[in-house]
Amino acid sequence: MAQTQYTEENIRSLDWKEHIRMRPGMYIGKLGDGSSADDGIYILLKETIDNCIDEFVMGAGKTIEISIPGDRVIVRDFGRGIPLGKVVDVVSKMNTGGKYDSRAFKKSVGLNGVGTKAVNALSSFFRVESTREGKSKSADFEYGNLVNEEFLEETSRKRGTKVVFTPDETIFKKYKYRNEYVERMLKNYVYLNPGLTIIFNGEKFFSENGLKDLLEDNNSLDDMLYPIIHLKGEDIEVAITHSKTQYSEEYHSFVNGQHTTQGGTHQSAFREALVKTIRDFYGKNYDASDVRKSVISAISIKVMEPVFESQTKTKLGSTDMGGDFPTVRTYINDFIGKQLDNYLHKNPETAEKIQRKIMMAEKERKELSGIRKLARERAKKASLHNKKLRDCRVHLDNMKNERRLESTLFITEGDSASGSITKSRDVNTQAVFSLRGKPLNSYGMSKKIVYENEEFNLLQAALNIEESMEDLRYNNIVIATDADVDGMHIRLLLITFFLQFFPELIKENHLYILQTPLFRVRNKKETIYCYSQDEKNAAIEKLSGKPEITRFKGLGEISPDEFKHFIGDDIRLEPVMLDKALSIEELLKFYMGKNTPDRQKFIINNLKVEVDLIDQE
């Protein structure tokens, strides 16, 4: 066997922008097209806004203006402005930035000096303007390369920094910013920075009560067991309540303004402190799961030089607060132990409601203990002896955290459909769970049904979400069913299951619908896959003549060779999102409860749309 040559010619050095463009995942996590909240285009936006937030934290600039006209992003703050002599360096030289100077930034969102450089390198166009002391400096880049500099001796512009960028479409293919994801990001910024105003496309975002506003905006007040407990201290803020109907735990955690969607040491410490404080207050050794059942909470802490487990900062790894503070665990335990205990003593009605909730959870857990034990045994045996779950290497081989952001579980129905996906998937990051027939309508049922129903029990085990969302095995959960009446019904039944028992999966943007083509239009030279009637008509016009037209009636009709195009780089995912105007109970009652005149009218109107579409074919 011939040996590969290894000489000086095999060694090369990459400059800063080449390295970022060649290995973007190291800097911004996954890429994506904007259909997922953690796709790269949102990380570019976040990295740009983070610098504006640091200015606000330092007391410079109370307003941030953001607009996204089409594919271009514009972010303007009214802070101090980048020092004019360093404008180019700050956005194009690695290890350059004000955050390395602890006198200027004490507890910053990011401390590695990479963020803006990554935005620059991964944009086809990038412009930075800085104004301070009546003077202005701007610089234009293309793909990280400086193409123009401009210096104004005098200007009437207000001080601050403006960044304009267009993500590179060769990297972020067919991307699109979804306003829902952007707005959620901006809301988190104002919750964490009371007094800050963010204006996005003309809409104002502002918060007076921090994390208390976060819980109120994300949950129905009617579903809260008691008024939100809102506690604030030096470098820590906490908001806590319990849901009347939700089964699982729900946490919103932040470090230095960064939304740590995967939790970390601070979230684990908070869960521990909550249980310990409740046990001490009531003098009862309650089971931890009973104390935390149905809890809805948010925690924000500030740490000196935080250490995260990945560049995208989704999970805190730090154990120390920094400075003269104790460990993260000790600091949070001491704060919760004192402040929550004081609150419960001063608010006996809330304390009584919490205790009743714990006792109800304890009763239900004991009633379910035998069923849960049998269910776990069945799930373990099933995972060993059948093929309902075809796992991916990101879990089988314990791949690095960055690849876990790409981990996807397709939930499909039928041997032919699951077979096609299994044969065409990326075995590194994509897993397949096969349903047997239609799932049960779980609306109005208790958690008992999750353990008694084989499909639900095995699905829960595959996702690893029985105890906590922190243990979720797949970042993306994709419902892949046929685009017909039966497929739509299966989608609805699965969404009902998640809303009923694991709503945070939807609230945290983990659930999607796989979009697959309805038509294939082709001639001898070209094949076009179409996802709608309009796309089909455009394809026919483009190919001219009489191209061959195929109507896909089910996923099983699509060959594995074709299917790999639809779950690869060009995958189309439609996120399942909650309408904030409706509570989960109202939503489930409308769609899955007993028939009502309103629902009948809704079905008839939408059925007419489907019939019209079929007639056009």
Query: Residue 499 maps to which CATH number?
Result: 3.40.50.670
Same domain, residue pair 199 and 267:
no
pLDDT at 380 over 80: no
Cα–Cα distance measured from residue 77 to residue 80, given in angstroms and rounded to the nearest whole number = 9
How much is the pLDDT for 360?
A: 93
7 part of a folded domain: no
70 part of a folded domain: yes
The domain tally of the chain equals 4
Question: Where residue 290 falls among pLDDT bands split at 50, 70, 90?
Answer: very high
Q: Which of 179, 205, 231 is the last residue of a domain?
A: 205
Cα–Cα distance measured from residue 13 to residue 25, given in angstroms and rounded to the nearest whole number = 19
How much is the pLDDT for 95?
A: 53
Mean pLDDT across the chain: 83
Domain that holds residue 296: 211-363
Same domain, residue pair 501 and 466:
yes
- Which CATH number belongs to the domain containing residue 45 in this structure? 3.30.565.10
Same domain, residue pair 193 and 221:
no
594 part of a folded domain: no
How far apart are the two ends of the chain, measured CA to CA in Å? Answer: 59
Same domain, residue pair 433 and 485:
yes
Same domain, residue pair 453 and 526:
no
271 part of a folded domain: yes
pLDDT tens column, 135-155: 999 999 999 999 999 988 778
Same domain, residue pair 42 and 164:
yes
The counts of H helices and E strands in the chain are: 22, 22
Q: Rounded to whole angstroms, what are the CA distances from 540 to 334, 612, 616?
A: 68, 20, 14
Cα–Cα distance measured from residue 424 to residue 417, given in angstroms and rounded to the nearest whole number = 11
Q: Which of 422-426, 549-553, 601-605 has the lowest mean pLDDT?
A: 601-605
The candidate with the shortest Cα–Cα distance to 504, out of 298, 249, 299, is: 249
- Would you state the structure tokens that stand for residue 423, as one six-digit string? 């044969």
Per-residue exposure over 4-35, b if at least 16 CB sit within 10 Å of its own CB, e if not = eeeeeeeeeeeebbeebbeebbebbbbbbbbb
Question: Backbone phi, then psi, for 164, in 5-degree steps?
Answer: -125, 130
pLDDT at 370 over 90: no
617 part of a folded domain: no
How much is the pLDDT for 478?
A: 95
DSSP 3-state of 549: strand
Same domain, residue pair 352 and 410:
no
Cα–Cα distance measured from residue 131 to residue 153, given in angstroms and rounded to the nearest whole number = 10
Question: Where residue 101 falls among pLDDT bands split at 50, 70, 90?
Answer: very low
Same domain, residue pair 112 and 156:
yes
pLDDT tens column, 387-433: 688 888 866 555 455 567 788 999 998 777 788 888 889 888 899 99
Same domain, residue pair 501 and 356:
no
Can you list the positions of beta strands (E) in 469-517? 476-480, 511-515
- Which CATH number belongs to the domain containing residue 351 in this structure? 3.30.230.10
287 vs 16: which has the higher pLDDT: 287
375 part of a folded domain: no
Say what the alpha-carbon torsion angle 41, 43, 45, 47 is, to the nearest 10 degrees. Answer: -150
Of 98-107, 268-277, 386-395, 466-475, which one has max mean pLDDT?
A: 268-277
pLDDT tens column, 305-337: 777 776 566 777 767 666 566 788 899 999 999
| pTM exceeds cut of 0.85 | no
Same domain, residue pair 498 and 523:
no
Same domain, residue pair 48 and 176:
yes
Q: Which of 306, 331, 363 is the last residue of a domain?
A: 363
590 part of a folded domain: no
pLDDT tens column, 42-54: 999 999 999 999 8
pLDDT tens column, 537-546: 999 989 888 8
pLDDT tens column, 516-535: 888 999 998 899 998 888 89
pLDDT tens column, 563-582: 888 888 788 888 888 766 56
286 part of a folded domain: yes
Instruction: Give the H or E element holding residue 71.
Output: none
- Average pLDDT score over residue span 238-251: 90
Same domain, residue pair 104 and 125:
yes
